[in-house]
Structure 1
Amino acid sequence: MTASPHRTVDPLPLHPRSVRRLCPIRRLGTGERHHFFGYYNKSVWDRTGRYVLGNEVAMRDAPLVPELLAAVGYFDVQENESFFPIDTTTAWNWQMGCQLQWLDGEAGRKVIYNTRTGDLSARYPGFGATVFDIDSGKKTALCMPVYVCSPDSRYALCVDYRRLYVTHETIGYSEHGGPFALQLAPADDGIYRLDLATGEPALIVSYDDLRRFHHVESMERAIHWVSHIEINPASSRVLFLHRWTERTADETCFLHRLITMNPDGSDMRLLECSDHPLPQLADDFDPSAVGTFDYEKSEYQISHPLWQDDSHIVVWGPHAGSIHYHLYEDSDNGRVEVIGRELLTENGHMSFSPVDTRWLVSDTYPDSQTNTRILFLYDMHEGLRYEIGEFYAPPDLKKENRCDLHPRWNRDGLAVCIDSVHEGARQMYVIDVSQITGAG
C-alpha cells in the first residue's frame, strides 16, 4: 500500500487496542487530469458495483471562481477503470464536489448534481440541479441546487449555497460581485424540500424558525445557517447541524446544534447544543492566529453526523462535559453512548458499513508535525481500531482547497473509496478492506 513518501518521523506507538494493518490500495483512472468525489456521506458505487462516480478537473487546486469547470462522470471498473464524463458543472467546491449522487430509488442509472443555470428568476438565482439518466442520456433540470436526496429518491433537501459561501466558504458556491450581505435569520429562507417528481419546492424550516427553537442569547446578533443535512435509510427522518456566529471569518467562533425532524419540518428534536462563551469575539482577537485545522479539533465542535440506521446517529461532538464519537438515539429520551472512548479521540469523517454496523470507517485530520492523516476501521464488537492507511497532505492546501480523505463505503462493505493528494495529484483511491471486515 502507498503510504506517505514524505515521512520525516517514525510513527507514534499504537494504543494497545489498535492494530496497524495496511490494506491493498489502487488509484482509479490514469492520465494527468485530477479526480475527486467530495464528501463522505454517500456511496460512489452504483448498485451493481461496476460504476464509481467522480469529478474530473484540470488542476490539483485553484480558487473557486464561478467559471471554474469540473467534468461530472463515472469510472467503469469493467472498462479499465476509465473515466466517462457525462456533463460539466461550475457549481461545485473542493469539499463536496457538486453533490453528485446516485438516485437509488429510481430504475436504471440516474444521478443528480448541482449546476449553474443562468436563471436569475430562480429562488436561488443562477443555481439549480440536473438529473441525468446515464442509460438514455436524458437530462432534467431542477429549480434548486440539492444538498442531499432521500434514499427512496422521492425528494431532495436544498439550501442556498450563496449563503454558505458567506458563512462557511469551504462548502459554498461563489458568484460574481459576491459575497453579498445577508439577513441574519430570515423567515423566508432555510431548508427547502424539493419534490423530485414534480420539481416543486417547499420551505419546511426557516432560519427564523431555528432561531426561535430553544432560543439562546448568543443567537441574537449572529448569522444562521445549516449544514450536514442527512436523511435516514427509511427516508422518514432528517438530521442537520444548525450553526450560528457573529464572526464568520473565524470558525472557532461557530456555535452548533444537532437537530432532527420529519421530512416536512415537523417534530423537531434538539439532540445537542454546544453554546458556550466566546472570548474570540473580543476586538483584539486575531483570527489569522488560528491554525488551518484548529476548528476541527475544538472541544466544542459538533460535526460530521450521519445515520447509523433509522433511529441512531453517530457524530463527533461534546456531551456531558466531554467530546467524543457519540451515538445518539433519535428519540425523546435522548440516550447517548460514547464510542471508542480511548481510541477515537479526534474529529473525523465517520460512517458505518451498509451491511454490518459492527464496522465504522473514519479518518483524522493532518498531524501538525508530519502532515499525515490516518485512515482506520473501528470494530464496534471488539473495541479494536485498525489503522489501514496513512496519507500525506501538503501543508500548502488550506481550508477552501484542502483534500480530506472522506472515506466512503462500497455497497457490500468490502472496500472504501477516498480522495487523496499523497502522490502529488488529487485522485480517488479504492482500499480493499475485506480481509478485516469479512463481509460478503
Structure 2
Amino acid sequence: MDRRLCGAFVASVCWIACCHSDGAVVEFPDVSPCRALTSGPHEHLLASYYGINSWDRSQRYITVLRTDVKGRIPTEDDPATLALVDVRTKEFIPLTQTRAWNFQQGCMAHWLGTAPDSQIIYNDFRNGRFVSVVMDVHTKRELKVIDHPVSAVSPDGKEAVSINFARLRITRPDYGYGGDGQDARRNVQFPQDDGLFLVDLETGQARCLVSIAQVRPLVPEVPAEGIEYFNHTLFSRDGSKIFWLARAIPNRNTTSLTVNRDGSNLQRCFPDGWGGSHFDWLDGDRLMVTAAYEAKVYGHILFTVGQTDYQRLGNGLLDYDGHGTFSPDGKWMVTDTYPAGALREQKLYLMDMQTQAVLPLGRFVQPPEVKDGWRCDLHPRWSPRGDSIAFNSTYTGSRQVYVFDLTW
C-alpha cells in the first residue's frame, strides 16, 4: 500500500457505537481525518515526550522542534529550532534554538502550570552544562536559566524532576544528550550522589530525592561490567507521587518505581519479572504501565500504587507494549504500536475506560530507513480539553506532526 494513503484510514463517521459484551453501548467520538500541522522540507517533531501536554491552554499553539538531522542521533553540535505552530493557520513561529534534544523526547518542553498560556520550560546545553530555560513564548524573552535539565514538571509548575542525561547518553544513547553536560559517573554502578532530583523552579535549588544506590535492593543484580540508570519520570496528576524506571546495561533489566513527592514511600510497582516500559497516571493513585502481566503476557496494566489489583486493559486487544496515555477527564486512553509486519505499520487506538472497547484511529507506515536512534514512534498526547490528539509520524516520507480532532 502506498504509504501516502496509510494515514488516511480513520474511523471518521458521524456517530460510532458498539455493543460491549455486557450489553452496554459505547459511543465513540466523531474522529476527523488526520491533518498535518507541519510539512517538509524540514523534519518536525513534538517538543516533548509522549503524554506531555504540547498545547497552551487556549489550544491555539503547540510546541514543536525543527531539524535537518536525518539518519543519526543528534549531537551537541546539532541545534534544533524550538517553535510554536499555530494550530489554526499552521504558521511556524520560531522561539529559540536548543542543543539538548533527541528524537524520542524532544527538548522536554513543558508548559508551566502557573502560566500555561505564556511560559514554557525546556532543556538546553550552555557553557558545557545541561540546563533548563524558562521562556515567555509571546515576548520570546528568557525569564530564568536553571542549572538542572528537567525530565518532568509538577502539575502546579512549581517543581521538576531532573535526571542525568549524560549517564543516559552512555546507557540509552537515543534518550541522552551529547556534550557531557553532566558527570555521567560512568565508572560507578550505583552512585550515591546521582539519581532522581527534585528541583524548585522558583529558586533553582535541587535535592536528591532518591539516589541510584538507594534502589539497589529493589532491582535485579547488575553484571560487573554494567551500570544502573534512571529514565522516564512522571508526576501523578495531583502531584503527590513520581513514577520512573530504573534500568541497567548491558542486560537492560527494568524495575518500575514510585515515590512520594517528599521522598517517602519508595516502592516497586510490580513483582519480579514484570519489568515495565511505558506509563501514565490516571489520577493521584492509579497508574498504567505496559509490563509483562504475571511475567507472561505483555500489556497495558492498570493498578493502584501500593496494591496488587492489577488489571490488563483492552480485553486482550492491547496485549503489547504501547505508549498509552489518558484523556484529561480519564474517560479514554489512546495508545500506539511499534512498526509491525511487512508494511511496518504503526497503529493508533482509542479505548473507552469504562467498557474497554477499542476503536482504531489510523495506521501509518514507517519507512525502513527510519530506525534505531532515529526511529519515529507515534507518541500520542491529548490536548488540555481532550478534543484533539497529536502525534509524530514519518508515513509521508519525512518526520512531521499530525492531529486528530474528536467531537462527541
TM-score band w.r.t. shorter chain? 0.7 to 0.9
304, 316, 323: which one aligns with 1:329: 304
Q: Secondary structure at the match of 2:3?
A: coil
Q: CA deviation at 1:218?
A: 4.5
Distance 2:234 2:37 in 1: 27
Is it true that 1:133 corresponds to 2:132 in the alignment?
no
3-state secondary structure, aligned to 1:272: coil
Query: Alignment partner for residue 286 of structure 2, among 312, 321, 331?
Result: 312
Cα distance in 2, alignment partners of residues 427 and 271 from structure 1? 35
Q: Counterpart of 1:209 in 2: which secondary structure?
A: helix
Q: Measure how far apart 1:221 and its partner are.
A: 6.1
8 Å Cα contact 1:193/1:264 also seen in 2: no
Instruction: Say if 2:14 is the partner of 1:5.
Output: no
The residue type paired with residue 5 of structure 1 is: R
Q: Is contact 1:258-1:273 (8 Å) kept?
A: no
Residue 188 (structure 1) aligns with: 193
Q: TM-score, normalised by structure 2?
A: 0.88
- Which of 326, 342, 346 is equivalent to 2:320? 346
Q: Secondary structure at the match of 1:381?
A: coil
Deviation of the 1:274 alpha carbon: 4.3
CA distance in 2, matches of 1:366, 1:114: 29
Identify the structure with the greater strand proportion. Answer: 2
Q: Does 1:117 align with 2:115?
A: no
Aligned to 2:381: 408
Q: CA deviation at 1:53?
A: 0.8
Name the CA shift for 1:175/1:107 in 2 (closer, same or farther; >3 Å): closer
Identity %: 29
Query: Do the aligned partners of residues 430 and 48 (structure 1) sit closer, same or farther apart at CA in structure 2, a change above 3 Å counting?
Result: same
Aligned mate of 2:93, from 84, 89, 92:
84
1:147-226 matches, cutoff 5 A: 147-175=151-179, 181-212=186-217, 214=218, 216-218=220-222, 222-226=226-230
Contact kept, 8 Å, 2:51 with 2:382, in 1: the verdict is no
Aligned in 2, Cα 1:27/1:6: closer, same or farther, shift over 3 Å? closer
Q: How far off its partner does 1:22 sit? A: 6.9
2:267 aligned residue: 269
Partner of 1:400, secondary structure, is helix
Q: How far 1:159 moved relative to its partner?
A: 0.8
Amino acid at match of 1:345: D
Alpha-carbon distance in structure 1 between the residues aligned to 2:219 and 2:379: 33
Contact 1:274 1:318 in 2 (8 A): no
Residues 179 and 196 from structure 1, CA distance in 2 versus in 1: closer, same or farther, beyond 3 angstroms?
Answer: closer
State how far apart, in whole Å, the 2-side matches of 1:395 and 1:6 are: 17
Among residues 343, 347, 366, which one is paired with 2:339 in the alignment?
366
How far the C-alpha of 1:23 sits from its partner, in A, is 4.0
1:219 positional shift: 6.9
Q: Contact 2:315–2:356 (CA<8 Å) still a contact in 1?
A: no
8 Å contact 1:257–1:273 — kept in the other structure?
no
Are residue 389 (structure 1) and residue 362 (structure 2) matched?
yes
**CA root-mean-square deviation:** 2.7
Deviation at 1:4, TM superposition (A): 3.1
What secondary structure, in the 3-state scheme, does the structure 2 residue paired with 1:193 have?
strand
Contact 1:30 1:82 in 2 (8 A): no
Q: What do residues 121-172 of structure 1 show as CA deviations (whole Å, max 9, x unaligned)?
A: xxxxx21110001234331111011101101011110011110011111211
**SS of match in other structure, 1:254:** coil
Aligned-partner Cα distance in 1 for 2:67–2:221: 44
Q: Partners in 2 of 1:54 and 1:67 — Cα distance? A: 19
| Aligned mates of 1:3, 1:316 — CA distance in 2 | 31
Q: TM-score, normalised by structure 1?
A: 0.82
1:242 paired with 2:216, answer no
CA positional deviation for 1:301? 5.1
CA distance in 1, matches of 2:344, 2:404: 21
- List gaps (5 residues or longer) in structure 1: 8-15, 120-125, 248-252, 276-299
In structure 2, relative to structure 1, the CA distance for the partners of 1:220 and 1:271 (3 Å cut) is farther
1:28 aligned to which of 20, 37, 47: 37
- The aligned length equals 387
* Structure 2 CA distance for partners of 1:44 and 1:61, relative to 1, 3 Å: farther
